[in-house]
Amino acid sequence: MRDALAVRDGDLVFVDDARWWLAGLRSTRCQVVAGDATGEGIALPAEALKKNGWGADQKVVLTRIE
């Protein structure tokens, strides 16, 4: 995932709910805060996830902002 998006810690990403019928109503921009030990996972700020009501199991779509 990290390699596919070419993101590093501190990069800006657009996070959108994976459910298409919400049409961007649950979306936010935030910085990547950290990765996991394998370098594949992407961690986002807890405040951004809580604001949109996303839990740990919620599917989201990430887009790297240039």
Query: What is the structure's pLDDT at 52?
Result: 84
Q: Which pLDDT band holds residue 66 (cuts at 50, 70, 90)?
A: confident
Specify whether the CB–CB gap between 6 and 16 falls below 8 A: no
Tens-place pLDDT, residues 20-63: 888 788 888 988 887 654 566 777 888 888 888 888 788 888 88
HEC assignment per residue over 13-60: EEEEECCHHHCCCCEEEEECCECCCCCCCCECCHHHHHHCCCCCCCCE
| Predicted TM-score of the model (pTM) | 0.75
